[in-house]
Structure 1
């Protein structure tokens, strides 16, 4: 099956509804979504079912953060006239596709997935892993294929999930004897993963090292002040290391003047540039980026009815697409019809 020539390529991405979004989300995928919504048909999935895979003990947290994440989408510039924002739990076709796809992947393959291994380690599950969490790559494959998406903007840590999605696509197509599903391509930004302000590999709300998109001016200032640099760069005159220096990683991600950043790195390496000056530059950039986002978010939060209407409209569009895909898969696999 091929995408109709008269339609734009389809993008599907989303976020777990476990809390407001942060700068890591912005760099990892939101910025790409903004750039692509003019050239693609885009769906953004509020992944509340996936959020339950490790939050089943607190469903209220998952429920209330559906609106929080939607506010972040709209505040950064996602346009509901171009992008359909939809709620995962209101799309029953995705759950049925997940169940069908589980028959085309082994437990061993799920356990080998690098993303799953990292997430299990980070959460300290050991062997006490919720089955829903172990199987969420299959649910994600259902999400991607259900929308017939061929483009998936993700952070680099999510690339193995796209690979596994395409494996499932090939197996289903082989069983059906024809292409009922489309393979997808991961689109990874230049800076694919933003470290936490403490220098740890990944920014995470649960680790307390994240800077929210809704952060206040004081919170931005404090976060930049706390950022990990080079512990051996004790004096301005000392040569410093750029590698592993969080401030320079953030400058790479947010400073549009690449030549100036390169010059700063050279000066820092040879000595003569202090952490304070570099952090001041970064703080200015982050204040300029986040101030309009924070202000738009506050205005949207005062009009919840409009936000709900946007979600209802986007979910209705998504329901039609995903139900059509489910019917094609059921037909391709030769399931019983009444």
Structure 2
């Protein structure tokens, strides 16, 4: 990055444990495409973080690095504007994580609400992999290695940003000046997208996602499975919009907000059938996904192109992160050549 580049630095990314889906699109991908012109953006394929709860299946993580990178390019991420890199090939991140382990307690990690929720979701109880418990530290290393000041996250990740900034303040105090900048969370305009089955979270592990290369048949099946208002038994009955998954998705993806508002009013007063609303959503999702799917098919024909992008981006980021590591070591008084 040029010293003359005064754009804010963004670090964001995904765990490569499966293809990305509409939850990722509305939560982050859409905004990343828009931010790559106004910000200096790094996209991190967080494979090392994915290993913390996939240690029995490294091949799954490795395979999905290519899948997720292909998703990035298919939705409009431009590798000439956004640097895409692979976490496990940036050794400075591991060294920073080891240093940062000394600036946070186990008790503080266990109090992190995001960690507590994820531990419960995965059923770890007290059998928690140490790597998983410590991933807020690794995440702090990721963010600070790039000196990112903006980190797009969902609301559930805010505690991770707060913990990162706590560590930044402690490290800067130890060094004696503000070497590492604090970061701010950039929240999506859309809250977390529920799964099409009505569960609070769209998740690969729950099997309730619509992937970015879903076929028309897949989309139709998912939309037909969506819950509406259980009390809306007849077309003429008034219906409830709040908590109605179909309207939640229309709010997220339908570009015509005025028409969606009219549909909601019609549904509330009665006379609008669930089938009509679902048909509109099906059309909206097909129009959104079709060009992404077509681009993805073309990209998948040239895996060497994807690998070249990852290799080039990772080499660039290796230099950036190593420079930060050297500065932190010097500031803390760590012996290094």
Give the TM-score range, shorter chain: over 0.9
The question of 1:179 aligning with 2:178 is answered: yes
Using the TM superposition, give the Cα deviation of residue 192 of structure 1 relative to its aligned residue in structure 2, in angstroms: 2.6
4+ residue runs over 4 A deviation:
none
Q: TM-score, normalised by structure 2?
A: 0.97
**Distance in 2 separating the partners of 1:4 and 1:272:** 61
Gapped regions of structure 1 (runs ≥ 5): none
**What SS class does the counterpart of residue 228 from structure 2 fall into?**
coil
**Distance in 2 separating the partners of 1:40 and 1:6:** 9
**What SS class does the counterpart of residue 78 from structure 1 fall into?**
coil
Q: Is 2:329–2:336's contact at 8 Å kept on the other side of the alignment? A: no
2:270 is aligned to 271
**Distance in 2 separating the partners of 1:192 and 1:19:** 22
**What SS class does the counterpart of residue 42 from structure 1 fall into?**
strand
Using the TM superposition, give the Cα deviation of residue 121 of structure 1 relative to its aligned residue in structure 2, in angstroms: 1.3
**Distance in 2 separating the partners of 1:243 and 1:103:** 47
Q: Is 2:198–2:226's contact at 8 Å kept on the other side of the alignment? A: yes
2:231 is aligned to 232
Using the TM superposition, give the Cα deviation of residue 210 of structure 1 relative to its aligned residue in structure 2, in angstroms: 0.6
Using the TM superposition, give the Cα deviation of residue 6 of structure 1 relative to its aligned residue in structure 2, in angstroms: 3.6
- Per-residue displacement from partner, 1:260-307 (whole Å, max 9, x unpaired)? 222211221221111111111111111011001111111111101111
Using the TM superposition, give the Cα deviation of residue 5 of structure 1 relative to its aligned residue in structure 2, in angstroms: 6.2
For residues 131-142 of structure 1, the aligned pairs below 5 Å read 131-142=130-141
The question of 1:330 aligning with 2:319 is answered: no
For these two proteins, the number of residue pairs brought into alignment is 336
Using the TM superposition, give the Cα deviation of residue 318 of structure 1 relative to its aligned residue in structure 2, in angstroms: 0.6
1:122 is aligned to 121
2:309 is aligned to 310
For residues 42-121 of structure 1, the aligned pairs below 5 Å read 42-121=41-120
**Distance in 2 separating the partners of 1:76 and 1:6:** 26
1:261 is aligned to 260
Gapped regions of structure 2 (runs ≥ 5): none
2:29 is aligned to 30
CA RMSD between the two structures: 1.3
**Distance in 2 separating the partners of 1:10 and 1:148:** 7
1:194 is aligned to 193
